[in-house]
């Protein structure tokens, strides 16, 4: 390596830090500006997950969260999960529990008999839409029996009503040739793109070491949603937890990168950019979306952490709160790493600073 290239590499390493410097993809402007705020929802006796923020007309933040009254993550999230709403006057909190919004029906045969989970709430015009998942039986057919529903309301406080029929809008295709046949359709993320509504989703794969992402579209918020014939994600990767959003004129997806197959950093996040209005997300445009926990918490090794779920000190289920100009303002996420040593998970908050902080 030439002397000038060595100096450039050293400067980049000093600017980006060791985690960012080892990434296989460029570091996004979003990742450069994220800074730790703290834990905002920690519920005694409950594990919480999947925090989706939305502002109301008065500026209050409503946080829709999955939770279950048990230690750890498995099996509570898919047997006893419910969706609750927390409220705060500002994104940093403090948050108070307002209500349980949704529970499973408990009725055999219902697609949503058990454990509503993966809530994502968006404002679409004058209405609020909540995409979520559920399952008909956690002891038979799970996880492939999970599917996606959609609820609508005029206010974040509800009442919430099914968008259509029983509320189910996406499930595995009956066509054996389709990539969703016989697998779960989960992790929904809803986004209006022009006059169409995009519903991004994760589908299981019949190939080990792979998780697929798909897209369903509709002219109407209520649906019906028609799934594209092929996945929008690269083959042979494990990504999940997409957050779809419009930023600087382009459709983006913020996902996890569990094994580091895209970013080179296991447990980091990927920021995907579409050049065709959210229909495809080329791998060559992928950037590092966020780092793992040690980047934001240098003193993590001195904290009484407990690995409640998994073995990576990472963030999961990233959801952005945008400001009035459509700029990312805060990132909400959870983690299988309990920072306070409890056998429960919590919701954490990162701020998107005005200028790069790393």
The model carries a pTM of 0.93
Q: How far apart are CA 141 and CA 348, in angstroms?
A: 32
What the chain holds in terms of domains, given with CATH numbers, is: 18-351 (2.115.10.20)
Q: Strands across the sheet with 196-203, in order?
A: 185-193, 196-203, 212-218, 226-227
The pLDDT value recorded for residue 62 is 98
The secondary structure of 145-158 as a DSSP string is T-EEEEEEESSTT-
The pLDDT value recorded for residue 128 is 98
The pLDDT value recorded for residue 71 is 84
The pLDDT value recorded for residue 211 is 92
What are the beta bridge partners of residue 83? 66, 102
The pLDDT value recorded for residue 219 is 98
Helix, strand and coil content of the chain, in percent to the nearest 5, comes to 10, 40, 50
The pLDDT value recorded for residue 17 is 38
The pLDDT value recorded for residue 2 is 38
Return averaged pLDDT per consecutive 10 residues of the chain, 358 residues in all: 36 39 90 98 95 97 96 94 98 98 96 98 97 97 97 98 98 97 97 98 91 97 98 92 97 96 96 97 97 95 94 97 97 97 96 96
The pLDDT value recorded for residue 209 is 85
The pLDDT value recorded for residue 70 is 83
The secondary structure of 156-185 as a DSSP string is TT---EESSTTSEEE---S-TTSTTTTS-E
């Amino acid at each position: 390596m030439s002397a000038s290239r060595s100096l450039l590499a050293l400067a980049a390493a000093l600017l980006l830090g060791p985690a960012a410097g080892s990434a296989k993809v460029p570091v996004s402007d979003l990742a450069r500006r994220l800074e730790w705020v703290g834990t905002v929802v920690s519920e005694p006796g409950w594990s919480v997950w999947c925090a989706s923020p939305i502002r109301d007309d008065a500026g209050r933040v409503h946080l829709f969260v999955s939770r279950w009254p048990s230690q750890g993550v498995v099996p509570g999230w898919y047997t006893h999960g419910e969706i609750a709403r927390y409220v705060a006057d500002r994104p940093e909190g403090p948050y108070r529990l307002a209500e349980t919004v949704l529970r499973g029906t408990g009725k055999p045969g219902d697609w949503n008999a058990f454990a509503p989970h993966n809530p994502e709430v968006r404002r679409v015009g004058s209405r609020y839409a909540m995409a979520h998942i559920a399952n008909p039986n956690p002891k038979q057919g799970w996880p492939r029996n999970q599917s996606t529903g959609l609820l609508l309301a005029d206010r974040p406080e509800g009442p919430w009503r099914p968008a259509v029929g029983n509320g189910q809008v996406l499930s595995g295709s009956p066509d054996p040739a389709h990539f969703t046949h016989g697998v779960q359709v989960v992790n929904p993320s809803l986004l209006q793109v022009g006059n169409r509504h995009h519903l991004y989703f994760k589908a299981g794969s019949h190939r080990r070491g792979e998780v697929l992402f798909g897209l369903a579209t509709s002219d109407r918020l209520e649906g019906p949603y028609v799934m594209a014939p092929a996945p929008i994600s690269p083959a042979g990767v494990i990504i999940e937890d997409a957050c779809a959003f419009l930023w600087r004129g382009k459709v983006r997806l913020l996902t996890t990168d569990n094994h580091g197959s895209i970013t080179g950093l296991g447990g980091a996040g990927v920021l995907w950019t579409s050049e065709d209005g959210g229909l495809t997300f080329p791998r060559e445009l992928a950037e590092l979306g966020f780092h793992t926990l040690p980047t934001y918490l240098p003193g993590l090794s001195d904290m009484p952490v407990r690995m409640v779920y998994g073995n990576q000190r990472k963030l999961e289920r990233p959801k952005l709160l945008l400001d009035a100009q459509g700029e990312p303002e805060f990132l909400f996420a959870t983690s299988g790493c309990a920072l306070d040593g409890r056998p429960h998970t919590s919701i954490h908050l990162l701020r998107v600073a005005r200028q790069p902080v790393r």
